[in-house]
Structure 1
């Protein structure tokens, strides 16, 4: 694990387009280098070489690779919005489809690079900016889901604030774990089971469900 004493705050925030492009190139190169070589061997020299910048230029933006990884975590979190939420069908009988859309959105946001995701989970240090980003994203996601649950006629839980918080963190934490290391078949099973669990919880205790011992024709 990286030393907790090392700075993970970026050194320079670009103000010009050219500087922003250089910073983006460094981050893109780092993502590839970490995924290909692992975090220990993903040195700043390798990142600079992949980004086609001098090591001095890299250090103008980031003091070390821990700061680079912290910025990659921030970008990963900020990309994880749920744009389809406002377009979902909230008519009676659609609760399972709504929950599946939530779970699938979380899965899709973590599909691209499981190796990099695993490195983020194992190696990233939580700078103040990372923690602020996580908190802001969590608040936005919870508020978005809470608003949706309040409008769906099939939701039977009484405490929507607690329900939204529980669901967001259950989906996010378990999706991170599964997507970092599981094959496709396991991900599909995970989606099915998680959707079923969350749907049953949201319907509440008053939902009758199928009769015990019922045999399908």
Structure 2
């Protein structure tokens, strides 16, 4: 980002540009999400856009940072419930809330993330992986039946990455082979089987 927004008006401008980036990618595709089109969608001049962002790649990165921050907030909100419910229910609840976020605003974020392979989304995957590793490791250590397993860190790593990368692949497919509900249920059962205690 070229210029850090300090005033409320500047922060609104940056937010507007990030919103416009999401809308432009969702409506026109990543290849057509140019700075000119993003500025047009935001209703500002290209010069105003360049006061804050040097390139479309910086806009894409800011959008992905926002999406990842919002997904991390979902994990944080759901983490408080982990001690009060069975693990498979927690996993299902978490994935349902993630799905609700992705499908909000007529699937805006879902449409953006369908371009994940062309965006630098791996940084976001890494952040989500670390967050989930912390949450599930703490939970597993509190379960006597699984806490002593020498391979526990490897199991948690495999589970988390199985979920993350399967979801990314699922999102990328126009017509997935399984329903969302079946996928969420299977993930809940898989994590419960491995870490439920």
- Shorter-normalised TM-score: what interval? 0.7 to 0.9
Indicate the residue corresponding to 1:190 in structure 2: 183
* 5+ residue gaps, structure 1: 1-9, 205-217
Indicate the residue corresponding to 1:74 in structure 2: 65
Q: Distance in 2 between matches of 1:111 and 1:149?
A: 31
Q: TM-score, normalised by structure 1?
A: 0.73
Stretch moving more, 32-41 or 135-144: 135-144
1:118 aligns with 2:114: yes
Determine which of 181, 202, 212 is the counterpart of 2:195: 202
| Root-mean-square deviation (Å) | 2.7
1:179 aligns with 2:171: yes
Q: Distance in 2 between matches of 1:135 and 1:88?
A: 22
Deviation, structure 1 residue 40: 1.5
Indicate the residue corresponding to 1:13 in structure 2: 4
Indicate the residue corresponding to 1:165 in structure 2: 157
Q: Distance in 1 between matches of 2:95 and 2:143?
A: 17
In 2 relative to 1, CA 140–168 (structure 1 residues): closer, same or farther, beyond 3 Å? same
Q: Distance in 2 between matches of 1:25 and 1:116?
A: 16
Determine which of 91, 100, 113 is the counterpart of 1:99: 91
Q: TM-score, normalised by structure 2?
A: 0.80
In 2 relative to 1, CA 193–136 (structure 1 residues): closer, same or farther, beyond 3 Å? closer
Check whether the contact 1:106–1:175 (CA below 8 A) recurs between aligned residues.
no
Q: Distance in 2 between matches of 1:66 and 1:39?
A: 11
Indicate the residue corresponding to 2:80 in structure 1: 86
Check whether the contact 1:78–1:137 (CA below 8 A) recurs between aligned residues.
no
Pairing of 1:23-102 with structure 2 (within 5 A): 23-81=14-72, 82=75, 83-90=77-84, 94-102=86-94
Larger radius of gyration: 1
Q: Distance in 2 between matches of 1:167 and 1:107?
A: 19
* 5+ residue gaps, structure 2: none
Q: Distance in 1 between matches of 2:18 and 2:7?
A: 17
Q: Distance in 2 between matches of 1:88 and 1:179?
A: 26
Deviation, structure 1 residue 54: 0.8
In 2 relative to 1, CA 182–69 (structure 1 residues): closer, same or farther, beyond 3 Å? same
The total of aligned residue pairs comes to 188
